[in-house]
């Protein structure tokens, strides 16, 4: 049997060949005024990423209300962030839960969410989602199948869980202009739920050596940029824990031929925003926080508003100066967000502040956490 890296390389080669003539879909809203690139122009691309979509029972009920009592409509929840997401060349979310069926939907502690979420993610402008989390096995292999089926129907790509071994070996690749962007995703655990019998490949678990091997296989098969989503960290802790810091150092230090194997690390799971940091020349988001979640209670049993605070990361990549060189991040930004549990809406805090809303304290707290490890000195700025 072929080594996993060789299997991944072969699978990715097929994906790249099949998608060579395809471009990422254009999310630019009508009238945005963004000029089309000139023919043959070497241009970069923007990538945005956001935190955990974690539909508690109250979130499911809100989607039912927004649908008028028939079905579930999650589009209004995300409408406030759609202008940011839809303008990106590639937009990635984190779908933390699996989907149920026929009205069998549950919240905490074992989640089964309405599959209509997938359509809302596509409508908002997301191209792909990481699906490896501690809740990926909440409904076993059936939950994974329903979730990935729904994402496929909505046209949203996915990474981190799989319905079949071949799918698990096939790297998710998205196209941004002339750049091929590979998306890998891993989780620290599945809440102790064992992998399905005969399906050790169902969920990608964090293992530093394997992640580097997978990244090298993706790069070797032609990926220009490798993005790794990590479901990791200590819940309710603003600062990254020692395991996160060690993994960040190890993953960003991995190089082949003088070029980093991984170009961006996106963290989820902690429920609260955590710092951004440039580690070994590569941007790491330790935790983006929960983009969608019900009113959150921390481990001390106290309602904690930080559980509804998050960021959206936006990175502008420029093409390499020479063939085979690295696509470099030329601009790094974060957009502070808040989920208004009363209104049931994701709020772009900078836009809300411009409209006169009293959100400065929340915005500033998120900013202080994001910049707590010196990211401002490496050029990270707060975006709109």
ω before 234 within 30° of 0 (cis)? Answer: no
Question: Which residues are bridge partners to 128 per DSSP?
Answer: 92, 157
Residue 40's pLDDT is: 38
Residue 3's pLDDT is: 42
Residue 323's pLDDT is: 85
**Which pTM does this prediction carry?**
0.92
CA separation, residue 10 to residues 3, 13, 327 (Å) = 11, 5, 23
Give dist(CA 14, CA 318) in Å, integer.
26
pLDDT along the chain (384 residues), means of 10: 44 43 36 40 88 98 97 98 98 98 96 98 98 98 98 98 97 95 98 97 98 96 96 98 98 95 98 98 98 96 97 97 92 98 97 94 98 98 96
| Residue found by looking up tokens 């996106």 in the block | 266
Give dist(CA 136, CA 130) in Å, integer.
11
CATH of 4-26+43-382, one of 3.40.50.620, 3.60.21.10, 1.10.357.10, 3.40.47.10: 3.60.21.10
Computed from CA positions of residues 107, 267, 126, 378, in that sequence, does the dihedral angle turn out positive or negative?
positive
Distance from first CA to last CA of the chain, Å, rounded? Answer: 50
Contacts 24+ apart (CB under 8 A), 14-18: 14/170, 15/170, 15/171, 15/173, 16/173, 16/180, 16/221, 16/222, 16/223
Judge whether 382 and 336 are in contact, CB under 8 Å.
yes
Judge whether 233 and 240 are in contact, CB under 8 Å.
yes
Residue 324's pLDDT is: 84
Q: How far is CA 173 from the centre of its chain?
A: 14
Q: In the structure encoding, which two tokens stand for residue 36, read together? A: 């089309």
Crossing angle (nearest 10°) for helices 140-154 and 116-124: 40
CA separation, residue 373 to residues 238, 274, 352, 360, 369 (Å) = 11, 10, 26, 21, 8
Residue 42's pLDDT is: 62
Judge whether 121 and 127 are in contact, CB under 8 Å.
no
Residues contacting residue 253 through CB under 8 Å, at least 6 positions apart? 280
Q: Where are the domains of the chain?
A: 4-26+43-382
Residues contacting residue 3 through CB under 8 Å, at least 6 positions apart? none
């Amino acid at each position: 049997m072929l080594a996993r890296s060789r299997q991944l390389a072969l699978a990715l080669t097929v994906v790249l060949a099949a998608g060579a003539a395809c471009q990422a879909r254009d999310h630019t809203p009508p009238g945005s005024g963004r000029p089309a690139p000139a023919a043959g122009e070497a241009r970069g691309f923007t990538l945005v990423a956001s935190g955990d979509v974690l539909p508690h029972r109250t979130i499911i009920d809100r989607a039912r209300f927004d649908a008028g009592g028939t079905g579930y409509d999650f589009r209004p929840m995300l409408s406030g962030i759609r202008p940011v997401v839809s303008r990106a060349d590639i937009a990635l979310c984190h779908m933390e839960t699996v989907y149920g069926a026929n009205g069998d939907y549950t919240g905490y502690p074992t989640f089964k969410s309405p599959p209509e979420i997938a359509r809302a993610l596509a409508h908002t402008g997301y191209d792909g989602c990481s699906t490896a989390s501690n809740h990926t096995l909440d409904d076993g292999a059936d939950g994974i199948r329903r979730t990935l089926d729904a994402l496929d129907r909505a046209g949203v790509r996915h990474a981190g869980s799989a319905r079949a071994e071949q799918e698990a070996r096939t790297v998710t690749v998205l196209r941004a202009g002339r750049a091929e962007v590979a998306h890998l995703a891993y989780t620290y655990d599945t809440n102790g739920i064992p992998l399905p019998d005969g399906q050790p490949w169902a969920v990608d678990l964090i293992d530093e050596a394997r992640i580097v091997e997978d990244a090298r296989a993706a790069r070797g098969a032609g990926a220009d940029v490798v993005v790794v989503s990590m479901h990791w960290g200590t819940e309710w802790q603003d600062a990254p824990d020692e395991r996160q810091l060690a993994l960040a150092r190890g993953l960003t230090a991995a190089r082949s031929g003088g070029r980093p194997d991984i170009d961006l690390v996106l963290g989820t799971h902690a429920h609260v925003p955590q710092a951004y940091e440039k580690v070994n020349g590569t941007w790491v988001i330790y935790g983006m926080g929960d983009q969608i979640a019900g009113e959150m209670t921390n481990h001390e049993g106290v309602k904690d508003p930080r559980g509804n605070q998050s960021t959206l990361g936006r990175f502008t990549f420029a093409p390499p100066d020479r063939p085979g060189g690295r696509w470099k991040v030329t601009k790094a930004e974060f957009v502070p967000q808040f989920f208004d549990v009363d209104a049931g809406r994701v709020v772009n805090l900078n836009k809300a502040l411009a409209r006169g809303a009293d959100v400065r304290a929340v915005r500033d707290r998120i900013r202080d956490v994001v910049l707590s490890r010196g990211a401002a000195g490496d050029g990270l700025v707060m975006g709109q």
